[in-house]
Structures are given as C-alpha cells and as structure tokens.
Amino acid sequence: MVCGVKGMFQKQSSMAAAKVLTLLCSLWAFAVPAMPQQRSDLRRTHTAFHNALRDADASVLERRLDEHFTWTHTDGLVQSKADLLEKIRGGKLRYAELSTDQEIFNEYAQAAVVTGHSKRRYTDAAKPFELRYTLTLVKVGRQWKVAAYHTTIFTPGAGQLLQVRLGYPPDAKLLILNADDLAVSHSEDTASFDALDHKLITSATVMVPCPWFTEVAAYAKAHPEADLGLHLTLTAEWETYRWGPIASRALVPSLVGPDGNFYASPEDVAKHAKLNEVETEIRAQIERAKSMGLEPSHLDAHMHTLYRTPELFGVFLKVAREYKLPIRMARNDQPFQSMLPLMAPGDPMPDAIFSPGEDVPASGWTDYYVNLIKNLQPGVTEIFLHLAHDDAETQAIMVNHSDWGAAWRQRELETISSAEVRKALADNHVILIGWRDIKKLL
C-alpha cells in the first residue's frame, strides 16, 4: 500500500513538474531577448514607417500598417489606416522635415513597443515642432506591422506666459483690437478698412458667406500686411438680409432653414446641425478665402456658434489645428471658459476678452473703454469690436436691432478713434499686437 502511494505521488509530481516546465518555457518565450535578426527587422519597420510619413509615401504605409491601425493625436483625434492614407493621397499631410531619436525598443513574443522623440516641420509651416511618440507593432506572419501610434506634441516654452512666449517681459500688457463682421456690408468694410489703415485696430475677421466678401478679398490682395482672420459663419441673424453656406446646400442640408439660408440663432444651429456637415462648411469657407488670396491669421466664430457645445467646438478645434491657425479663446468669460479643458498644452490663447454689452449706455462707451484699458492686467487681452457707418445701408440691414445695430457700430467706430481712448493706451503703456503675432507660435 505504501509503495502504491509512493508511485502515485511520483507520477503526480512528474506531471506537476511538466506543467511548471511548460509554464516556464512560455514565460521564457516572452522574456527572452530578441534575436539580432528580429531586432533588425523591427528597427527597419520603425524607420520605414517614419520615412513613409516624411515622404508622404502611401504605398509603403499601405503595406506597413496593420488593418486595425489607429493614430491617436494630442487632442484626442483618432485616425484609422483609411483616414491617414486618404489625407496623404489628398495632399493634406506633408512634412518638409521629420526625424526621430531617443528610441527605446521593447520586444515581446508577437508584439513590440517603441518610444521616442521626433522633430517635424510641415511643408507650409515656418517653424518645426516636437513630439513624443509611442509606436506599437505586432507580428503578422514573419513581418512587423504598425498597429498603433500615439503622439503628444510639446511646445518649447509652453509653460510660459503668452506674453513671454511672444518676446515680452512678464509684466507687459498686450492688447489685440479686432473688428468682427467684415463682408456683411460695404459700410462695414469701409469703416473697418479705414480703422486698419490708420492702425486704430490691429486685426479683423471676415464672414466669407456674406455678399461683400469679394470686396474684402480685393482689399487683402492690395494690403498683404493686413491681419485678417475668418469669422466662421453658420448663422444669418438679420430679418431681411440673409445668406447661406459656401458648400452646396445638398451637402449641408442640416445647416439651412426653410428659406434655404442659415438659421438665425446659434441655438437653432446646435439643435439641427450635423457635425460632419459643420466640418464640410467651415472647411469650404477657409478654402474659399484662401482661393481668393486671403491667408487667414486666425479663426473665430460668428455669434460664438462654434463654442455652443463641446461637439461643435471639437470640430472647430480639429479644423483649426489642421490648418495651423490659432483660435479666439480666453480664460475670463463664457462660452470660452467651458471649452478650456479641450485645449491642448501649449495652445496659445489670450488671457481675457472684452466687448461692451447692452448694459453699457450710449453715453458711457468712452468711459467703458478708458476704464477697461486702465485696468488691463499683464498678459494678452482681446477686445472685439463691430465697426460700420450709421448710414442707409446699415440701417436697412440691421432693422429692429438696437443692439449691435447701425447706431451701435457707428458709436464703436467713434469711440475707438477717440483721443481719450488713444491717450489711455499710451498712458498705460499698452502694446498693441495682432493675431499674426500669435500665429507665429504655431
């Protein structure tokens, strides 16, 4: 009986030992250092992937990318293999420079992870940028395929105050004076052009869908030094003066109301608009401006429509980053504050933004601006204005609008031109800058 128990114990021990040995062999397969040939293949795939990105070689990427490939960007945007290949084939992703260094390779049985640093410059950008990346590869048969790419852009000096990044001391008070709504009318254009020419304002934003856009485009060609951004437009708020999308209405049906034009309010846009159609339209507005010789310095949104929801803002931010344009943001006021979590580290943005509201009486506008200037804090501030002449054209367009109407715009023009406001700027050592200054940081 003892011998039987002993034999049984030996048999069970042998089986257990075999299981342990099998387990150890499995673990060894994952932990064993890669053979030189395997490591060489891995490095070649890593290099080929980055070279193909640099050279916009879609055919190489087609072979090197796994079918389930995803590229996760700093802002959370996720691109599939098809998305990336479409961008490259369409000429929307072009690098003039792309190099990598500081690579660390970690290889396992059927997978590998590479981390590193990369310096890049887009073909249409003056300055390079840097990022950290994580590249995940999987073994498919005998070949390495790129399964995932995660990139995090970091901007040198991103932790510094914006005024310091712009080359000024920490206590500097920088001010952008921006006129909105160019192209709404001839009166709006002439008032704003005059303010730009006489340096009463430092920049302006243009509504591409509006009837007088061709006049602004002609001005931009004749004045290449003019700092002009785009006031991306998805609303048409005036009762008898309407406009619609730049894109074909058949492509953006959710953006138009029963009359075939834009909705009158941001609330209606947020209620009806489909995000893919919003993206189509704002891209069309940017491309129309560029095709007519206007290279925008920045982007913002008419009636703050694109700040209305996180989803709309996400589309806005995505497009702005692809075009490498700064956007109107601020830390002191809604609706900007609620969108701050969606901004990436290093995104340049002013500290504060102001514009007189309905609570400022007509007789108090000069005092409003003078007090605002006297109380400016160190940093970058934007004041956005609406300039036009109180003439028959503006009165007809803005009928039944006491707020932001004809008289309002004339008053704003007179106030920003006044000796009191100009003296306040000088006395308080305010430095006027434009959006082109901020664009240089991108």
**Residue 188's pLDDT band (cuts 50, 70, 90):** very high
* Residue linked to tokens 């995940």: 136
Q: What is the pLDDT of residues 336-345, one digit of tens each?
A: 999 998 887 7
pLDDT exceeds cutoff 80 at 2? no
- Residue 152 has a pLDDT of 87
Tokens for 125? 């950008």
CA dihedral sign, ordered 330, 331, 333, 337: positive
Both tokens of 229, joined, read 């951004």
Residue 271, classed as helix, strand or coil, is helix
Its sign, for the CA torsion 77, 80, 84, 89, is negative
Residues 6 or more apart whose Cβ sits within 8 Å of residue 354: 333, 372, 381, 382, 383, 384
pLDDT higher than 70, residue 8: no
Burial class (CB in 10 A: 0-12, 13-18, 19+), 343: middle
Give helix 406-417 / helix 419-427 axis angle, nearest 10°.
Answer: 50
Residue 29 has pLDDT above 50, yes or no: no
DSSP type of residue 75: T
230 has pLDDT over 50: yes
User: Over the stretch 251-272, which tens digit does the pLDDT of each residue have?
Assistant: 999 999 999 999 999 999 999 9
pTM: 0.72
